[in-house]
A and B are shown apart, each in its own frame.
Chain A
Amino acid sequence: MCICILYLNVLSRISGSQATEVKVSEVEFNPNFVSRMIPKLEWSALVQAADGLGHLQDLPTELIADYEANEDFLRKVHRVLLEVEVLEGCLQCPESGREFPITRGVPNMLLNEEEA
């Protein structure tokens, strides 16, 4: 699953304790799209997750100002958002600790009888 939707997921933490399988692929760079996605993200959660997966690289820990015109920065965000994928792993709710497994890149968000 593209790392993109993780930060867009209400549960924003990737559990690093489980065996995590990550894949990096090449995706066409669309600076306009990346630029419009940034305001939707929780930056600290993105950084934390990228770091947890070992793919932080040179992504700034703080969101820089005037990023729209900064192609270099946008490319870094593009890599983390669209090219790094979690194939096997876990999403964890920071409040309840409830874990949602990720298989073949697909997170299982189905609730149990008691939770629904």
Chain B
Amino acid sequence: MASSCRRPEHMAPPEIVSIIIFFNERITSRMIEIQSQMSERAVELLNLPEDQSCFLLDVGCGSGLSGDYLSEEGHYWVGVDISTAMLNVALDRDVEGDLVLGDMGEGMPFRAGTFDGCISISALQWLCNADKKTHSPPKRLYTFFSTLYSSLARGARAVFQLYPENSEQLELITSQAMKAGFSGGMVVDYPNSTKAKKFFLCLFAGVSANLPKGLGTESADKGVPSQVQFTGQRSRFKNMKGKSAKKGKDWVLEKKERRRRQGREVRADTKYTARQRRPHF
């Protein structure tokens, strides 16, 4: 959404930030293109039945860019956003979906089993900040996920495109989603490219399924995870940069390989390579 500010959720509450951005920046065609691509990928991850018009929820729909893609695909949708300014833009753009002014953290006000799927582009990170003293991010996350869970039809999916700030934030989000009854995990597209890398939190309501594979992972380093299943354990993301953390055997072998690629003279690998030495060595 913002190109001049990497973390808009740190600036101010969402309804203020969206006004600032709207008036200060041109919405470039590149931004629209990126939004559209992310919406397309999110819908792909929803795994909807082919050739069927579905009823979808777009959380944090904003000016309706992602909603437009849903309409193009023949789906009917409801968009929820906290910003009146953004919703007014959506109305002026004559989006086909229905709009609701609401706060994700207060819960999704829909009857049980309403939606065949849910997408959310660049909106979930807003729930992780407390904009008011009375806000408790974990509580708001749980309220959001539990009401979302009930508003989804059995077997439906919710796909969230987000830019995780750190592993603690991801941990908070996934733990609340699990508490609310969801299963699923993170799908990472192009994990090796800083520019193209995208994170999609893929949640299943009611049925377990295999996590879809991230794009651009066929020739990926074995050390870089392209999917992260919910494990319930606290796992520190040691391998986020794709290198082994400790100076173990893997690290030594990788380093030797790197130096060979650089054209340096490197000793051949033998059974003694990176073997544990006795303490006095």
A: which residues have CB within 8 A of B? 1-2, 4-5, 7-11, 30, 32-33, 36-37, 40, 42, 82, 104-111, 113, 116
Contact = CB atoms under 8 A, between A and B. Distances in A.
10 contacts: A1-B98, A1-B99, A5-B78, A106-B91, A108-B102, A109-B103, A109-B109, A110-B101, A111-B103, A116-B134
Interface residue range, chain B: 20 to 34
Q: Identify which of A1, A8, A32 gathers the most chain B CB atoms within 10 Å of its CB.
A: A8
Interface in B100-139: 100-103, 106, 109-111, 113-114, 134
Nearest to A101: B101
Given A32-B52, A104-B91, A116-B134, A10 B100 contact: no
B104 to A, nearest CB: 11
A95 to B, nearest CB: 13
Given A11-B109, A36-B55, 17 more contacts: A8-B111, A9-B110, A10-B109, A10-B110, A30-B53, A32-B53, A33-B55, A40-B113, A40-B114, A105-B91, A107-B100, A108-B102, A109-B100, A109-B102, A109-B109, A111-B103, A116-B103
B106 to A, nearest CB: 5
Contact of A106 (B101, B103, B111): B101
Contact of A107 (B101, B106, B134): B101
A116 B133 CA distance: 13
Interface in B79-111: 82, 87-88, 91, 98-103, 106, 109-111
A34 B52 CA distance: 12
Nearest to A85: B98
A46 B114 CA distance: 15
Interface in B232-268: none
Mostly helix, strand, loop or mixed at chain B's interface? Answer: mixed
Contacts, number: 67
B147 to A, nearest CB: 9
Q: Identify which of A1, A4, A9, A40 gathers the most chain B CB atoms within 10 Å of its CB.
A: A40
A113 B134 CA distance: 9
Contacts of A2: 98
A115 to B, nearest CB: 8
B6 to A, nearest CB: 28
B76 interface: yes
Nearest to B103: A110
Contacts of B55: 33, 36-37, 40
A93 B220 CA distance: 53
Contacts of B98: 1-2, 4-5, 105
A68 B82 CA distance: 37
A114 B207 CA distance: 36
B111 A7 contact: yes
Nearest to B87: A106
B88 to A, nearest CB: 8
B266 to A, nearest CB: 62
Nearest to B53: A33
B116 to A, nearest CB: 8
Contacts of B82: 110
Contacts of A105: 91, 98-99
